[in-house]
Structure 1
Amino acid sequence: MTSKKFTFAPESTPLAGFTIKRGIQRGGFGEVYYAISDGGKEVALKLLHSHVEIERRGTELCLNLKHPNLVSIIDIRHDEDGDTWVVMEYVSGATLDRVLADDFPEGMPIAEVRTWLAGLAAGVDYLHDRGIVHRDLKPQNIYREAGQVKIGDIGLSKIITPSQRGAQTESIGTIYYMAPEISRGEYGPEIDVYSSAAIVYELLTGRVPFDGETTAEILNRHLTDQPDLSPLPRSLQPVLGHALAKDPAVRTASLGDLLVEFDSALAGHPPVAPQQATPTPDQAPAPVAPAIQQPQTSMATIAEQPSHSRPGQPPPQRPRLFVPVVQHGPLAVRNISLSQRALESSAGMAAAILFTGILTAVGELTGMFSDTGETTPLTAVAFGLTTLIGSWALLVGTKAWEGTGPDSLSMRRLSLMLLGAGVGAAGWWLHQVLLVDLPPLAASQTSGLVDSIGSLELVRDKQPTMAGYMMFFGLLFGVRRWWWHTDGFRPKRLRVLSLLLTGSVSSLLGLAIQFPLAAAVGWGVGIAIVVQLSAPWIDPALRPARLHREEVTHG
């Protein structure tokens, strides 16, 4: 809100049927108030000050649109003085620019960015499907209320079919997010893609892709400079480079496509250069979608002035294009609610009890707990309980990180390593309480790479110490990619090759720290079997629907 006073004071009634409660925002096109109708409905009233005809035409286009990601326009009214008012849905949630400034000044986590992008894509694609371009997308016009992303200020929207040509020839928009072709009077849907990509860039980095000391400098950078992609996560650099392309004909075609490319990049797919036909001298490449050509004017005619300075841009980079390959794998970014994580973790833990019991029974019958082929119930109990505790730790630990994308891998490994150390301590304690020893060290284990940490022994009397247990399980949990065993989007419910690899890793760890090989392989493979069978698995054909449901539920 600016420091200037609003035209109308609280409790005034300039528009029949509504009582103003407070001013919300002042802008180049008018003032917005929070008001209450005579019937008690909360609304936002927008008083148009300048360019009334432009705003009125855009508002009329959207008067009957209904979409959960758009701020609804209720009516257009005129007061006794002939002033034009737009009656809109009141959104109590914070605007995206406030969320960014207050909570994420250095940039948002990728999962949070995707939530905003998904809502933005749904709302803007709805407009584009009806032949309407927004033309003024910016963080100040995007809200989130009760988890639902909403796009507001659609009064600047314009029909984008070539037959609909208005008299308006001025450049509209906020300079930080303004597509270069607006300087040529082109208003195709690609300008909304460009603006949205600039917003996503800011959400990820905390700064806009182009900045300068003056409006003219910023506008010139939009026209001539390539965006600096280096502050972005490496996997997303080609995605934003594609969407911020200067030429609208090669820019990402829609926000839905941008979301697909975003998810595909996070799933680990490398960029692939698209196959493009080379135009003949008398054949220019066709644009992605029809754009309106209007008489060329300065972009600064109505563009907002920069309100603050941002760091200058490093040398330009050439953006790379790629064709997205859709795969919903363990590194896909998903909006998984806390309740869903808790439910799936609980279900997995319950199933783990059953599968651990079966595995332990098979082990006791086959004599896998003793090098002599004989076993005791307490040996089986110790093995089963340790396996169950380890499985529970992995099911809960990996579920907490599920859907957070590849940028969380280092923290995933660290957290799982700490959980593994805790499992090791619990396993050692169980064996002490039950007075059960592990099978003796094999002849090949007379020495290891590590048998102590300083004065802390890992082995004593041919049995692992508590530190030895913690070292083995900590390394086992930290080295293996356990999210590939438990994620709902893993390739298969049970992968035999993964079990063999886990057995090999367990054997190598046993040799390295003198942990009994039979126990090391038994626990490694046993836990891998239990978690794969217990963790929920979603058939690949059903994953797009699951992603959509998670997006709708999360808002």
Structure 2
Amino acid sequence: MKFTYSTGQRPLDGYTIKRGVGKGGFGEVYFALSDGGKEVALKLIRGQADIELRGIRQCLNLKHPNLVALYDVKNDVHAEPWVVMEYVSGETLNTILNRHPRGLPQELIQQWFPALCRAVGYLHDHGIVHRDLKPGNIFLESGLLKVGDYGLSKSMSSSHRSAQTQSVGTVHYMAPEVASGNYNKSVDVYALGIILYEMLTGAPPFDGESAQEVMMKHLMALPDLTKVPSAFKPLLAKALAKDPNHRHAGAGELVKEVEAIYTNVAEALPAVPMQKQRPVGVAKEVPVLPRSNTPQPSVPIAMPVAAAAPADPAASDPLTAVPAMSFRDQVGELTSAMAKSALFAGITTTLWAALRLTDNTWGDVGMLFFLTLAICWAILIPTKFWAALKEDEWKRRLILTGCGALIGLLALWLEGWTPSVPGISEGGFSSLPQTSLGLAAGAGFVSYFGLTFGLLRWWKTTNRRRSSWFSFFPVIATGFWALVLLILYPNPEKPYGAAALVMSSMILQWVSPWQAPPPALPRRVRMRRA
């Protein structure tokens, strides 16, 4: 990227340029130092300078902790206007979203989105509409959110059809009414809704091959709210309404609803522990990545940021908010896992039979296959619908114990026990295998499988957010308890139950979807003076 000015030049009296950091349709942004040593961002305005300066002068005296401060407007020797503004040594929300393609951790949304709304609400309270809210204009410095590029802001009292309405806003965050030029602060509410949707899911609700296609979706299509947690669906449906009159009255109303969700419906959302601060290290510059191919009309003022230190696995984000799945998607995922488990049960049973040193009958192999498959299904069915619920370990263990008891009855039947039903002769069960197993054996099977189901946290093996796609630890733990509890097994000389449990602990991991945890957030440090 070629800039007009290079390191060491002084286009403005009192400021020395260190490097260029951004370029766009409205000009160029440089990192500079004042003669007194203060770090600032200098924005050289090109093109529609009158439009840019009109908005900047309206905002020069605004002061808010979540707004990038504008210090002054100056002209150089060529009469070109420059804006002196706060230097932000952090990264953009855009960059952070790129690291979290499935959405941000709830702790970050809870911290950052209200701050964003308060900054926008402050602009609204002073009669200003931002008009270009997007992740690329939102900066994070040492955990503090700041909104920038509000130089395009427009006074609510100015003409609705002024020339300022041209080429303003980024299409992915542009409200439907912007196309007609008739709008007010409702366009910011709409953009806030888009940003919240993207924070929750990792992607904006509308995308396409061209700006025109995306804009048509803003005008005609409804957002897919099945991807967001249920607590946010009514809020987003209102914020993203096509009719501005049906949206929230302002950013203040929106932030109240968001805070109410986290206060009153916290149990419906994943609980993410706050990350511990890491020690400051040496900074290394990395580029800011674009989120789309759509040209950006305004100039970002993002600064290079510190690269991430080697991630501590325990400090990574283990519970990044996963977009809520619809019931139909859950059923589809469940049936797919059940079908795959049948295939893997057949493969593992065949391998087990081939590796056995003693002879196996087809009855033994068939019993092991059906028992393994039944165990997989008995665990997959309940755990699939626990994914989005707050964890209640004892309730889960109780449910699994009941499932294990049913598996024990199935194992008893597979071993050859037949029920004694009054009025039906024994010949009615002549086609079933016969054995002398009695009530004691039945109690042994039920106890064995009930305890192995209840003692182990089987839902961890099917959780899509488990630490790795496959781990030997659950297999070893299952094998340990399966062997320890063999004293309860009625037929210890043929421990098919233990073999089925161990194979099931492997199969459940193979067939369950897995989502790799996102990388840890990088350290944010102030860059050393050049």
State the TM bucket, normalised to the shorter chain: 0.5 to 0.7
Stretch deviating more after TM superposition (212-221 or 126-135):
212-221
Q: 1:233 to 1:160 in 2, by over 3 A?
A: same
The CA distance in 1 between the partners of 2:16 and 2:318, in whole Å, is 48
State whether structure 2 residue 77 is matched by structure 1 residue 140.
Answer: no
Structure 1 residue aligned with 2:264: 327
Ranges in structure 2 where 5+ consecutive residues have no aligned partner: 278-316, 325-384, 399-441, 461-487, 489-530
The CA distance in 1 between the partners of 2:76 and 2:171, in whole Å, is 33
Structure 1 residue aligned with 2:406: none
The partner residue of 2:181 within 176, 182, 185 is 185
Structure 2 residue aligned with 1:482: none
Structure with larger RCO (C-alpha < 8 A, sep 6+): 2
The CA distance in 2 between the partners of 1:333 and 1:258, in whole Å, is 21
Check whether the contact 1:331–1:403 (CA below 8 A) recurs between aligned residues: no
- What pairs up with 1:441-480 in 2 under 5 angstroms? 450-453=446-449
The CA distance in 2 between the partners of 1:18 and 1:409, in whole Å, is 59
**Aligned-CA RMSD value:** 4.0
The CA distance in 2 between the partners of 1:472 and 1:235, in whole Å, is 31
State whether structure 2 residue 45 is matched by structure 1 residue 48.
Answer: yes
The partner residue of 2:109 within 90, 113, 118 is 113
Check whether the contact 1:401–1:412 (CA below 8 A) recurs between aligned residues: no
C-alpha displacement of 1:338: 5.6
One-letter amino acid matched to 1:152? G
Where 1:92 maps in the other structure, the secondary structure is coil
The partner residue of 1:21 within 11, 18, 21 is 18
- What pairs up with 1:45-444 in 2 under 5 angstroms? 45-101=42-98, 103-161=99-157, 168-265=164-261, 327=264, 330=267, 337=274, 410=387
Q: 1:43 to 1:419 in 2, by over 3 A?
A: farther
Check whether the contact 2:161–2:182 (CA below 8 A) recurs between aligned residues: no
Check whether the contact 2:106–2:269 (CA below 8 A) recurs between aligned residues: no
Q: Deviations over 1:428-455 (max 9, x none)?
A: xxxxxxxxxxxxxxxxxx96984224xx
Q: Deviations over 1:249-289 (max 9, x none)?
A: 00122223223333445x6xxxxxxxxxxxxxxxxxxxxxx
Q: 1:221 to 1:124 in 2, by over 3 A?
A: same
Q: 1:403 to 1:31 in 2, by over 3 A?
A: closer
Q: 1:401 to 1:330 in 2, by over 3 A?
A: farther
C-alpha displacement of 1:201: 1.8
Check whether the contact 1:115–1:335 (CA below 8 A) recurs between aligned residues: no
Q: 1:328 to 1:217 in 2, by over 3 A?
A: closer
One-letter amino acid matched to 2:55? G
TM-score scaled by length of structure 1: 0.51
Where 1:35 maps in the other structure, the secondary structure is strand
Q: Deviations over 1:147-172 (max 9, x none)?
A: 00100011001111368986534241
Q: 1:40 to 1:335 in 2, by over 3 A?
A: farther
One-letter amino acid matched to 1:73? L
The CA distance in 2 between the partners of 1:208 and 1:404, in whole Å, is 15
The CA distance in 1 between the partners of 2:102 and 2:271, in whole Å, is 22
The CA distance in 2 between the partners of 1:176 and 1:472, in whole Å, is 49
The CA distance in 2 between the partners of 1:406 and 1:168, in whole Å, is 37
C-alpha displacement of 1:27: 1.2
The partner residue of 1:33 within 30, 38, 51 is 30
Q: 1:261 to 1:169 in 2, by over 3 A?
A: closer
The CA distance in 1 between the partners of 2:17 and 2:252, in whole Å, is 38
Check whether the contact 1:107–1:204 (CA below 8 A) recurs between aligned residues: yes
Check whether the contact 1:171–1:182 (CA below 8 A) recurs between aligned residues: no
The CA distance in 2 between the partners of 1:16 and 1:213, in whole Å, is 45
Ranges in structure 1 where 5+ consecutive residues have no aligned partner: 268-325, 341-399, 422-445, 459-467, 479-513, 515-555
Where 1:168 maps in the other structure, the secondary structure is helix
The CA distance in 1 between the partners of 2:197 and 2:269, in whole Å, is 19
The CA distance in 2 between the partners of 1:56 and 1:23, in whole Å, is 21
The CA distance in 2 between the partners of 1:85 and 1:215, in whole Å, is 30
C-alpha displacement of 1:131: 1.1
The CA distance in 2 between the partners of 1:263 and 1:336, in whole Å, is 18
The CA distance in 2 between the partners of 1:331 and 1:162, in whole Å, is 43
The CA distance in 1 between the partners of 2:36 and 2:230, in whole Å, is 53
State whether structure 2 residue 2 is matched by structure 1 residue 8.
Answer: no
Aligned length: 322
Check whether the contact 1:111–1:405 (CA below 8 A) recurs between aligned residues: no
Q: Deviations over 1:333-392 (max 9, x none)?
A: 88975679xxxxxxxxxxxxxxxxxxxxxxxxxxxxxxxxxxxxxxxxxxxxxxxxxxxx
Check whether the contact 2:32–2:41 (CA below 8 A) recurs between aligned residues: yes
Where 2:264 maps in the other structure, the secondary structure is coil
Q: 1:203 to 1:339 in 2, by over 3 A?
A: closer
The CA distance in 2 between the partners of 1:230 and 1:198, in whole Å, is 15
Where 1:173 maps in the other structure, the secondary structure is coil
C-alpha displacement of 1:110: 2.9
Structure 1 residue aligned with 2:509: none
Q: 1:36 to 1:245 in 2, by over 3 A?
A: same
Q: Deviations over 1:385-429 (max 9, x none)?
A: xxxxxxxxxxxxxxx9999899797488769579999xxxxxxxx
